[in-house]
């Protein structure tokens, strides 16, 4: 059964000690009395309790469907304590919560959905990954019963798309998956593969796994945590949190040509003003520009947000913002239809337990807005996941702790 932990990016996944955890919980609840500058736009729409089949500790962020409903996972909780898949169905200004699946934490099921958000596959199924279960983690599909947007037939419930079995096919898929237009699924494992440094894999529509690339731990990096991002041509982009020529991680591309894939290192982090440890992967816009964040480093030591833009046969790195306090963006950034960039910081903000930010393009530069600083306590603390943004600019996300039972919350920030 998973234990509550502070998973970072090392291959051993650094665990919290009990003393550190209880000290942090105490600090978070003491800080609940402090006000936040943006509290008028912030509200908690669900408090996780870990009671019964309710989830606890949501590390991944939520996703939105076309009807405005939210779906996500929790790392712990559920009827067997191994995590959940949940839904929050929009009902006017309120939300109806449902636990769709409780993971059993055994070989025939997953355990501990990690940092990746779910995807909606074929307008029907929810697809994601768990760190544990199976042998070394699984890729799962969940078909909600009575799903209002599911038009295809088939039985509701969970099914396993792939069980990572012997280490050579990857271990610990932490970051979720993406899918291409043909229905093939792509993801990474943070460990395992030929060299133990993680892999990029493909699962075909028929359920066959193919390893597209084994990270060697050299200039190509190792320990890819986030799922790759796919562009309009079917090329994959992502990051490794470690490795590269300077040991601080890289941005990579897997270019597709027919059935062949060619790996290239697009950028190597130097650990200077460009930051270090890009755990969260990248997001691609319609022009092929990549946006991401680093968890550490940068001018002020708290990580940064960056853009990597294609220029002929090379790529240009642009620093968008440096964060001044630990820890910076851990997960993927989110783009809206206007080109604004949104994300969370795990430990930055006025109170040191997390924040939500927006970066807006303006005449060739970027304007930074601190949307919310988590004070802890009832309003939550320590967001690890990405945020979802609807057409009105409302921002939805999760915190891993805090809330009424200190088991995390789902929040909304309105314009």
* Residues 126-178 pLDDT 10s: 999 999 998 899 999 988 865 555 655 556 678 899 999 876 899 999 999 99
Which tokens hold the place of 295?
Answer: 């968890």
- Does residue 346 register a pLDDT over 70? yes
Name which residue leads in pLDDT, 225 or 23: 225
Give pLDDT, residue 122. 86
Reported as a single tens digit per residue, the pLDDT across 175-226 is 999 999 999 999 999 999 999 999 999 999 988 999 999 999 999 999 999 9
Q: What angle do CA 266, 270, 274 make, to 5 degrees?
A: 85
Mean pLDDT on 3-14: 42
Mean pLDDT on 279-304: 96
Q: Are 133 and 103 in contact (CB under 8 A)?
A: yes
Q: Are 122 and 143 in contact (CB under 8 A)?
A: no
Question: What structural domains and CATH numbers belong to the chain?
Answer: 39-282+334-413 (2.120.10.30)
- Does residue 387 register a pLDDT over 70? yes
Q: Cα–Cα distance between 352 and 375 in angstroms, integer?
A: 8
- Does residue 31 register a pLDDT over 60? no
Reported as a single tens digit per residue, the pLDDT across 63-79 is 999 999 999 999 999 99
- Does residue 386 register a pLDDT over 70? yes
Which tokens hold the place of 187?
Answer: 């993801």
Q: Cα–Cα distance between 127 and 406 in angstroms, integer?
A: 27
306: confidence class by pLDDT, cuts 50, 70, 90: very high
Tell me whether residue 224 is exposed, middle or buried, using C-beta atoms within 10 angstroms of its C-beta: 0 to 12, 13 to 18, 19 or more: buried
Mean pLDDT on 366-370: 96
The model's pTM: 0.90
- Does residue 23 register a pLDDT over 90? no
Q: At 18, phi and psi to the nearest 5?
A: -60, -40
3: confidence class by pLDDT, cuts 50, 70, 90: low
35: confidence class by pLDDT, cuts 50, 70, 90: very low
- Does residue 11 register a pLDDT over 90? no
Q: Cα–Cα distance between 415 and 406 in angstroms, integer?
A: 27
The DSSP call for residue 207 is S
Mean pLDDT on 374-396: 97
15: confidence class by pLDDT, cuts 50, 70, 90: very low
Name which residue leads in pLDDT, 13 or 91: 91
Q: Are 193 and 172 in contact (CB under 8 A)?
A: no
For 44, what's the count of Cα atoms within 13 Å in the CB-facing half-sphere?
21
Q: Cα–Cα distance between 139 and 35 in angstroms, integer?
A: 41
Farthest-apart Cα atoms in the chain, separation:
58
| % of the chain beyond a pLDDT of 70 | 87
The DSSP call for residue 24 is H
The DSSP call for residue 30 is H
CB neighbour list of residue 326: distance below 8 Å, 6 or more residues apart: 296, 301, 302, 303, 347, 348, 352
Q: Cα–Cα distance between 139 and 379 in angstroms, integer?
A: 32
- Does residue 19 register a pLDDT over 70? no
Q: At 3, phi and psi to the nearest 5?
A: -110, 145
Peptide linkage before 94 cis (omega within 30 of 0): no
252: confidence class by pLDDT, cuts 50, 70, 90: very high
Mean pLDDT on 222-232: 97
Give pLDDT, residue 415. 80
Q: Cα–Cα distance between 151 and 338 in angstroms, integer?
A: 30
């Amino acid at each position: 059964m998973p234990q509550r932990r502070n998973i970072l990016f090392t291959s051993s996944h650094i665990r919290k000690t009990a003393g550190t955890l209880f000290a942090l919980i105490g600090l978070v609840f003491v800080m609940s009395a402090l006000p936040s500058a943006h509290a008028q736009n912030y509200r908690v729409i669900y408090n996780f309790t870990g009671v019964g089949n309710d989830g606890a500790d949501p590390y991944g962020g939520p996703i939105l469907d076309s009807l405005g409903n939210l779906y996500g996972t929790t790392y712990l909780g559920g009827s067997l304590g191994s995590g959940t898949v949940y839904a929050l169905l929009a009902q006017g200004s309120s939300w109806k919560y449902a636990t769709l699946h409780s993971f059993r934490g055994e070989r025939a099921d997953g355990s501990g959905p990690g940092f990746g958000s779910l995807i909606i596959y074929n307008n029907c199924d929810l697809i994601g990954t768990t760190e544990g279960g199976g042998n070394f983690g699984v890729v799962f599909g969940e078909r909600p019963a009575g799903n209002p947007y599911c038009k295809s037939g088939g039985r509701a419930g969970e099914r396993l798309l792939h069980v990572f079995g012997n280490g050579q096919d990857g271990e610990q898929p932490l970051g979720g998956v993406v899918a291409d237009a043909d229905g093939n699924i792509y993801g990474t494992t943070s460990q395992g593969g030929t060299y133990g440094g993680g892999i990029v894999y493909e699962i075909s529509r028929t359920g066959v796994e193919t390893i597209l690339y084994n990270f060697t731990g050299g200039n190509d990096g190792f320990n890819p945590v986030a799922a790759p991002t796919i562009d309009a041509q079917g090329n994959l982009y992502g990051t490794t949190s470690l490795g590269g020529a300077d040991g601080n991680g890289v941005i990579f591309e897997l270019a597709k040509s027919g059935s062949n894939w060619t790996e290239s290192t697009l950028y190597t982090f130097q650990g200077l003003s460009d930051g270090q440890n890009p755990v969260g992967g990248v997001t691609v816009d319609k022009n092929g520009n990549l946006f991401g964040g680093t968890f550490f480093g940068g001018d002020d030591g708290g990580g940064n947000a960056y853009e990597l833009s294609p220029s002929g046969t090379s790529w240009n790195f642009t620093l968008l913002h440096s964060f001044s306090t630990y820890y910076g963006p851990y997960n993927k950034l989110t783009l809206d239809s206007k080109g604004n960039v949104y994300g969370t910081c795990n430990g930055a903000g006025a109170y040191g337990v997390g924040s939500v930010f927006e970066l807006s393009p303006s005449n060739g530069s970027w304007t930074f807005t601190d949307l919310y600083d988590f004070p802890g306590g009832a309003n939550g603390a320590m967001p690890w996941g990405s945020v979802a943004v609807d057409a009105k600019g409302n921002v939805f996300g999760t915190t891993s702790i805090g809330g009424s039972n200190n088991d995390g919350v789902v929040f909304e920030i309105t314009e």
